[in-house]
């Protein structure tokens, strides 16, 4: 059974992350299936825009520590979203952690419900938010990222909107997105594609400049003794050895 479900309504293709056993973590399988679904949407002239959403209470828990995706595959997925000639809209009604925030930031527009929460938890398992910085650094307030990258603190949807991590937040995420999707349906395919190209130019420059180095950094950190201790502690639901 695929962890990515596809539905369509009036030209909007909805891709739903549906992997409840690991809280929609970015496993090798989910990354591959999502990339395939995006490829199909890009090639289909009947698709005007893509909505990326989720089942359950978690948009994505980050990288699946039991089935880590290849860093190059994750970079490829984020770049694919940025380069897709159709807008990709994130609909978040739950929690987003670590690598899931890179996926969120890759999208062109995003909306979150007020009860959603966010956290960069990489430092707490001995790694760094390396690959996901390709989409986050060009789009999010740098002072806020410094705080939340370094501390791993949890923050709410209002803070996510203030810092530019999400476009808007509200009590009803679908009500927030209704005028957005109406506007996308009224726009021409050519107009959307060329406007998106203007908007993502800085993001794609970051990929060209930094992807290789950040991929190597991610691989090195995940193979380190501290990361092994951090991931083991996380899976065993205990504090890692460095907590004081």
Please classify residue 175 by burial: count the beta carbons closer than 10 Å to its beta carbon, then call 0-12 exposed, 13-18 middle and 19+ buried.
exposed
DSSP bridge partners of 13? 8, 50
Residues 6+ apart with CB under 8 A from 145: 136, 137, 163
> E strand or H helix at 191, and its extent?
helix 189-199
Give me 217's structure tokens. 């950094």
| Active-site residue flag, 122 | yes
Angstrom distance (rounded) from CA 195 to CA 139: 16
Q: Which residue has the tokens 């952690």?
A: 97
Angstrom distance (rounded) from CA 16 to CA 34: 9
Angstrom distance (rounded) from CA 163 to CA 74: 24
Q: Which residue has the tokens 């203030």?
A: 162
Marked catalytic residue, from 9, 122, 205, 241: 122
Catalytic machinery residues: 122
């Amino acid at each position: 059974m695929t962890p990515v479900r596809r539905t369509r309504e009036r030209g909007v293709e909805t891709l739903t992350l549906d992997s409840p056993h690991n809280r929609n973590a970015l496993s090798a399988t989910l990354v591959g299936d999502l990339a395939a679904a995006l490829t199909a949407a890009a090639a289909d002239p009947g698709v005007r825009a893509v909505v990326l959403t989720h089942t359950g209470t978690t948009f994505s828990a980050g990288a699946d520590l039991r089935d880590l995706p290849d860093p190059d595959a994750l970079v490829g997925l984020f770049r694919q979203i940025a380069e897709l000639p159709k807008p990709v809209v994130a609909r978040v009604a739950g929690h987003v952690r670590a690598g899931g925030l890179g996926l969120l930031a890759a999208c062109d527009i995003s909306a979150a419900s007020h009860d959603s929460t966010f956290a960069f938890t990489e430092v707490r398992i001995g790694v760094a938010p390396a690959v996901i910085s390709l989409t986050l650094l060009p789009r999010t307030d740098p002072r806020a990222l410094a705080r939340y990258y370094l501390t791993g603190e949890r923050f709410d949807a209002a803070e996510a909107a203030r810092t530019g991590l999400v476009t808007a937040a509200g009590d009803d995420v679908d009500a927030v997105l209704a005028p957005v999707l109406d506007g996308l349906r009224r726009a021409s395919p050519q107009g959307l594609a060329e406007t998106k190209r203007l908007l993502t130019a800085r993001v794609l420059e970051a990929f060209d400049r930094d992807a290789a180095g950040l991929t190597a950094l991610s691989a090195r950190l995940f193979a380190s003794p501290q990361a092994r201790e951090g991931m083991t502690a996380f899976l065993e639901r205990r504090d890692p050895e460095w907590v004081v």
